[in-house]
Amino acid sequence: MRKLLTAIIIAVLCLVLCSAALAEGEGIISADEFSGAAQPTAAPHEEAAAAAPDAAGARQRVFDLAELLTEDEEAALQSRINELVAKDGQDMGIVTVDDESVASTQEFADGFYEDSGMGIGENRTGVLFCLDMYNREAYISTAGDMIDIIDDQRLEEILDAQMEYLAEGDYMGAFSAALDQTNEFIEMGVADNHTAIDAETGEELEPSEYGSTYTPKKPKTPAERAAGAAALGGIGGLTGLFAGLIAKGSIRRSYAKKYLPSKYDWRTNSKLDLRVNDSKLVNKFVTTRVIPRNNNTPRSGGGGSVSSVHMSSGGMRHGGGGRSF
C-alpha cells in the first residue's frame, strides 16, 4: 500500500512538472527549428520589386554584361545611383550588353527592367539606361512617374549628352551625364501642359493607364477665369489708386514752393537761324519675302510636352526611346 501511494505521489508530481513546462513553452520545437528557416516562395525579381525604397538602396543597380567599365567605375556609378535613389525616390539602373541574340534593344531594356525587379512602389517607377554594343544603340526605358518626368523632349536631351561621350568611347562619362541630367529633370518635375500618348495608336492616355501618379491640371472654367480676371482687376485698381495718391501729394508739394523768376536774359542770349532744306528722294526700294507657316505643332497643343508610351512583351507600359551611336 505504501509503495502504491508513493508511486501515485511521484506520478502526480511528474504530471504537475510537465504541465508547467508545457505552459511556459519549454521543450517545444518550432517548425522553423525543426526544418530550418522558412525559405522565400516568391521569385527573386518579385522580392526586389516589393522592397521598400530605403531597403532597395542596397540592391545591385549596375550590370556591366558587356564589360565596358572598370571595377572602380562600376562602384562609383553604383554609389552615385544609390544616392540619387535615396534623394529622389525614383529607381535607376544601368545595363550594358553585347549579345547577337538581342534583336531589339527596346525589348531587351524593357524586359531587363521587369525581370530584374527594378522599380519603386506599386507602380514600379524608375528609369534604366542601356547600352547595346551589338546593335550599337543607347536606349532609355522609363516606367511609372518617370514616363511623365522624362518626356520625349527631355529624352532627346539626355541622349544628346550621352552621344558626346559615346563618340569617344567614354562609357563612364556617358552614364554619368545621363544620371546628372535625369536628376535635374526629377528636381524640375513634370513639364507644363504635359500629355502622354499611345505610341502605336496616337491616342491620349490617362496617367492611371500607364502607372503614373501625375495629376494633370484641369483647365479653368469660364466662371473661374472671370473671377480671376476680376481679382486681378481689383488688385490693379488698388495699385493705381495708391500710385495716384502718391503722385498727387508730390505735385501738391511741388506747387506749394515759392516761385522764383529766372535771371537768365533769354532775349540777349537767344539766336534764331532759319534755312531751307532742298533734299529730294531719288530712289526707293521695297523688299518682300514669304514666311512659311510652321505646321509642326505638338499634339498636346500650346507647346506642351509629350511622352510616348508603348506596351512591352511582358504586358507593362513603358516610356523611353533610343538612338544609334
What is the predicted pLDDT for the residue at 257? 64
- Kindly tell me if the per-residue pLDDT of 8 is higher than 70: no
Query: Cα(142)–Cα(51) distance, rounded to whole angstroms?
Result: 19
The answer to whether residues 324 and 137 touch, using CB atoms and an 8 Å cutoff, is yes
The answer to whether residue 225 scores a pLDDT higher than 90 is no
What is the pLDDT at residue 230? 60
Above pLDDT 70, what percent of the chain?
A: 60
How far apart (Å, rounded) are the C-alpha atoms in residues 62 and 75?
8
Q: What is the pLDDT of residues 260-270, one digit of tens each?
A: 666 667 667 77
Predicted structure pTM score = 0.61
How far apart (Å, rounded) are the C-alpha atoms in residues 167 and 177? 14
**Residues in a beta bridge with 321:** 140
CA distance 307 to 325: 23
Rg (CA), the chain: 38
Q: Pull the grid cell for residue 42.
A: 516568391
| C-alpha dihedral, 204 to 210 to 213 to 214, nearest 10° | -30
Q: In this model, does residue 10 exceed pLDDT 60?
A: no
Yes or no: say if 89 and 113 are a contact pair by the CB < 8 Å rule.
no
The pLDDT of residue 205 is above 70: yes
Over the stretch 108-160, which tens digit does the pLDDT of each residue have?
Answer: 999 999 999 999 999 999 999 999 999 999 999 999 999 999 999 999 999 99
Q: Which amino acid belongs to residue 49?
A: A
Most confident residue range from 44-58, 234-248, 265-279, 305-319: 305-319
Distance between CA 24 and CA 101 in Å, rounded? 62
Higher pLDDT, 211 or 277: 211
